[in-house]
Amino acid sequence: MNPIDPRIHQALDGEIARGNLPADLRRAVERLDAAAELLAAAAPAAGLESRVMAGIRRPLPSRARRLVRWLSTPQTVMVRIRPAWSLALAAAVTLLALVPLGDRWGGPMLGEHEGIAQFVGRFPGARSVHVVGSFNDWRTGTIALEGPDHDGVWRGALVLPAGTYEYMFVVDGERWIPDHLAEREVADNFGRENSIVIVRAVRR
């Protein structure tokens, strides 16, 4: 390392005239002056702390928190409505509300005064079970119950006009058996009891 000639310090500090310096020292002083001007012109460097903090990326809040913030912050929503489409939408909603229950659920369409009669009977070992009654003119073999399940239970459901009906089960096409689960029964005037089902309108 070359020590700086003390005369350069003295010239930079103005203690001696630069014209009195030898040519090589005068050029050295001029280069140092130019460097000092460049440094003075440059912007002051940021401090260490601010540079470190700037290098650390701030973590984003979670999606849920952002969603909650978005939902809880007042938003300006602009809706542009075409009256024709709005009326069509209203008509569709109204129609959906008025469509009978069964149709909406994929079953049969239920009228205003119709309901569901459900039949359940346990007949282990039976090959067939039909329900016969005043709702089908007592025709045997036309309304089969589904089954049996693993417990020997047979089931069926009918759409019927609201009202009162007498019925019996016919097992294996020959045995007439009243519904032991029925809440109501009445003498059939032939020496036996018919079961009674009261069908209430679903849309009540």
Which residue ranges make up the site for other proteins (CB under 8 A)?
Answer: 101-102, 105-116, 118, 132, 134-140, 142-143, 146, 155-161, 163-164, 166, 176, 183-184, 186-190, 194, 196, 198, 200-202, 204
Contact partners, residue 64, CB within 8 Å, separation at least 6: none
Helix (H) or strand (E) holding 136, with range, is none
Q: Return the SS3 of 172.
A: coil
CB of 123 to other proteins, least distance (A): 18
CB of 93 to other proteins, least distance (A): 21
Using left for φ > 0, alpha for ψ between -120 and 50, and beta otherwise, residue 34 falls in alpha
**How many CB atoms lie under 10 A from the CB of residue 88?**
11
Between 18 and 176, name the residue whose CB sits nearer to other proteins.
Answer: 176
Between 61 and 173, name the residue whose CB sits nearer to other proteins.
Answer: 173
Distance CA(36)–CA(40), nearest Å, equals 6
Between 102 and 152, name the residue whose CB sits nearer to other proteins.
Answer: 102
CB of 141 to other proteins, least distance (A): 10
